[in-house]
Chains A and B, each alone.
Chain A
Amino acid sequence: MSIRDRSVAPTTPILEEDAAMWTAKIRRSLVSTLPPERLIPDRQPSYLSSWIYMFGALTLAALSIIVVTGVLLSLEGPTWWHLSSVGLFVNSLHLWSVELFFFFMVVHLWGKFFMAAWRGNRALTWMTGVITLLASVGAALTGYVSQTNFDSQWIATQAKDGLNSVGVGAFFNVLNFGQMLMWHIILLPLAVIAITVLHVLLVRKHGIVPPIELTEANQGGEA
């Protein structure tokens, strides 16, 4: 028998008196919103047979390299990444994975824009992608000013004028190295990772947006 039963049976029966508990309510809500077979599906629709659908996953792959190399840089510190050959290599990996992250994310954005990927109740998925892009720009800027070299000093003095001109310099001071480092290694990575996880969960919940022609065909010619 090659076809297996794909349904997932609960391992522990829920007692009747426990059904009203908040834990049971949250569990039921989570499972009904995102059943395991939809969270990690075995198969994808045939319309995904195009290279343009690869760029979201490529962006995630680049993000994972950024996180791993960023953790290594945090553990070892500036002397290591400026002076040792391994440190320089990891620093370069961190930079180039960021370059690829933005490259893939922009191609992903263009692809989803021309697919009108917000169709079918997917507006929140689209907006979480937009916020991830904005948070990533902030993460990149704070990274450039946290390099501890002449390049970072030059970028900080230039960015300072730009940020002061829009009135945010008082609480987001790019010349304050400690503040920029905290934004770069704690606040913005947390934001980017958390919103990316939400973005992926929303994609899993609503499914990958079907092509416009397919939607029109299903709706009898109506968009």
Chain B
Amino acid sequence: MSSRPRPVPSPTTQPFWDATAQQVLLFQRCTACGHAQSYPRPTCTACAATSLDWEPASGAATLHTFTVARRATHPAFDGTEPYVVAIVELAEGPRVTGNVVGCDVDDVRVGMPLELVWDDAGEDGLRLPLWAPA
């Protein structure tokens, strides 16, 4: 069972979190201009359109940048340090915040290819998307 802080979905973000239970990572695609974005918002950040479709991400990604947190950044992470906090660029374009897991923190490098893995489900049934070296 995941002990991480839990997201509290809003009506706009509910489909995103519901999909995580099925281990599907969604992002939004603007029906007007084709812009891809994440996290979910009610409007397109490129053209202000209000019509956005959901698309599943392939799970392929690149590590845009990261840090190794040598000290816990939140009480829920106490005792789990060192851990990697990262900005991950999806193959489809949007950048998302995440964690790189499944390797030594000292082996993490900017630009490394990543693949989507899933945290254990929480009591709420939702899962958090995580990233491992591809």
Say if A and B assemble together: no
